[in-house]
Amino acid sequence: MNPSAQPLALAGGPRLRDKPFPAWPVFGAPEEERLLRALRSGKWGKLHGEEVAEFERRFAAMHGCQHGIGVVNGTVSLRIALLAASVPSEGEVIVPPYTFLATASAVIEANAVPVFADVDLETFNLDPGAVERALTPRTRAIIPVHMGGLPADMDRLMAIARKHNLVVIEDAAHAHGASYNGAPVGSLGHLSSFSFQSSKNLTCGEGGIVCTSDERLAEACRSIHNCGRLPGGLWYEHHVMSGNYRLGEFQGAVLNAQLDRLPGQTATRDRNGQWLASRLARIPGVFPQRRGPECTRHSYHLFLFRLDARAFGAPRAAVLRALQAEGIPVSGGYAVPLYRQPLFVNRAFGPYLAGVSGRLDYGKVRCPNCETICYKQGAWLEQNLLLGTASDMEDIARAFEKVHAHRAILNSITV
Ligand SMILES: Cc1ncc(COP(=O)(O)O)c(C=O)c1O
């Protein structure tokens, strides 16, 4: 029976789907074997073991880089990249406001000033035009996020960077295995940063990596993540203010096994994501993240879309609740632009930015596209759904179609 002919689950009708979507993380014998081998070796730290070194080589090569430096998470990796690139104290770093906290908080932890530039409404990625408008004589770096796994507009961003002598650090926390005009994400800026936190497309629970092909930057990252030591130097010899941010061997073991799975999983997500985008785009008011031909592989950490309430015929919150009731786990995404977080509004920067925080007023920042996405239209599905079968994708599409068919009822539901 056509599911759209049934009443909405929210209104007491049958749920379209009870089956769970694929669980995350996916793991098995290869992870167990590598972990046990690392355990039994007794070499549990990066300085003595082989797992992290092997992973760094493989991951960097897969992402078109000569160097990879494995660290404890994808926040520290951004901060290390900023420090390695010598972004000066209180220099400005342009970031998007539609992203996880770390893209901007890492800037503050490098004692630099995050400057928010708006995102494109259709791609959810940093808008190069907004970046140009945000430039000042103090701008030193740009951190584009490949949002949800869609590569940012790197050609234009790198052209701006070249013109103004800026460092570009890709925040590729969502974009393992994605590519842009055939080139792997991570190799497009001067440095790149990835996260291996639990939800990410490549995970070991907690972890991160900085990648680069610049020998000098790689050396600086290696030193900063290892207590300021230098290659060939003594163990008890520290050259820059730093700490221990090294990734551990157990994480390295899991990552090596997970890395073998990544290409196949990425191909599945990309195929399913493209199918779903073309099917959902037929529904009035549903606008999947726009993907241009320059995106040669989308990693679909998130399947992002906008719900235009007027065109759809029902409010976003009610549509999302109706989809959840049908058995589709969907989220409204980041609820506020990053600059609206109390941290920024109250300039609660702890010991950082003491010299300049008096002149910073994040309460005045306006990024209209980001505000539309956060407050009115944004939504996403998580990557594990896209590891499903064609029939799982069909269920998602049918749930959207069913909710759209019953949109009139949703206007009388309070959420
Ligand atoms: C865009 C983005 N950047 C950076 C991070 C920080 O990574 P981590 O949680 O490993 O510190 C995350 C994720 O959590 C993220 O989504």
Strand, coil or helix: 30: helix
Mean pLDDT over residues 41-64, rounded?
A: 98
Write phi, then psi, for 346 (nearest 5 degrees). -95, 5
What pTM, to 2 d.p., does this model score?
0.98
Per the annotation, the verdict on 171 as an active-site residue is yes
DSSP state of 414: -
Residue 4 has a pLDDT of 85
- State pLDDT tens for residues 152-178: 999 999 999 999 999 999 999 999 999
Q: What is the pLDDT of residues 255-265, one digit of tens each?
A: 999 999 999 99
The atom of ligand 1 lying closest to the CA of 208 is 10
Spot the catalytic one: 197, 274, 324, 341.
197
How far is it, in rounded angstroms, from Cα 159 to Cα 165?
10
- Residue 2 binned pLDDT confidence (cut-offs 50, 70, 90): confident
Burial of 358 (0-12, 13-18, 19+ CB in 10 A): exposed
Phi/psi of residue 50, nearest 5 degrees: -115, -15
Q: What is the spatial distance between Cα 309 and Cα 230, in angstroms, rounded to a whole number?
A: 57
- Over residues 93-112, the pLDDT tens digits come to 999 999 999 999 999 999 99
Q: Say yes or no to pLDDT of 76 above 90.
A: yes
The region of weakest confidence among 1-10, 99-108, 134-143, 373-382 is 1-10
Determine the CATH number of domain 29-258: 3.40.640.10
- Would you kindly state where each structural domain of the chain is located, as residue ranges? 29-258
Residues 311-315 have a mean pLDDT of 98
- Choice from 75, 82, 194 to test ligand 1 binding pocket (greatest atom count within 8 A of CB): 75
Evaluated on CA atoms 109, 114, 116, 120, the torsion sign reads negative
Residue 351: C-alpha distances to residues 28, 159, 241, 286 (Å): 44, 35, 16, 44
DSSP string, 313-377: TS-HHHHHHHHHHTT---B---SS-GGGSHHHHTT--TTTTTTTGGG--GGG---HHHHIIIIII
List all residues whose CB is within 6 A of at least one atom of ligand 1.
73-75, 99-100, 102-103, 145, 171, 173-174, 195, 197, 208
Q: Which residues pair with 281 in a beta bridge?
A: none
Omega prior to 342 cis, within 30 of 0? no
**Tokens representing residue 299 in the block:** 């990693």
Specify whether 236 is catalytic: yes
CA 147 to ligand 1 centroid distance, Å = 11
Burial degree of 182 (CB within 10 A; 0-12, 13-18, 19+): exposed
Of 253, 268, 252, give the one whose Cα is nearest residue 29: 253
Range 223-231 average pLDDT? 97
- Rounded to an integer, the average pLDDT of 201-205 is 98
Predicted confidence (pLDDT) at residue 415 exceeds the cutoff of 70: no
Q: Is 200 a residue of the active site?
A: yes
Other C-beta atoms lying within 10 Å of the C-beta of residue 312: 23
Residue 3 has pLDDT above 90, yes or no: no
Q: Could you say which of 27, 100, 156, 324 is catalytic?
A: 100
pLDDT over threshold 90, residue 413: no
Q: How far is the CA of 381 from the centre of ligand 1 (A)?
A: 17
Cα-flanking dihedrals φ and ψ of residue 274, to 5°?
-65, -40
Would you say 123 and 150 are in contact if contact means Cβ atoms under 8 Å apart?
Answer: yes
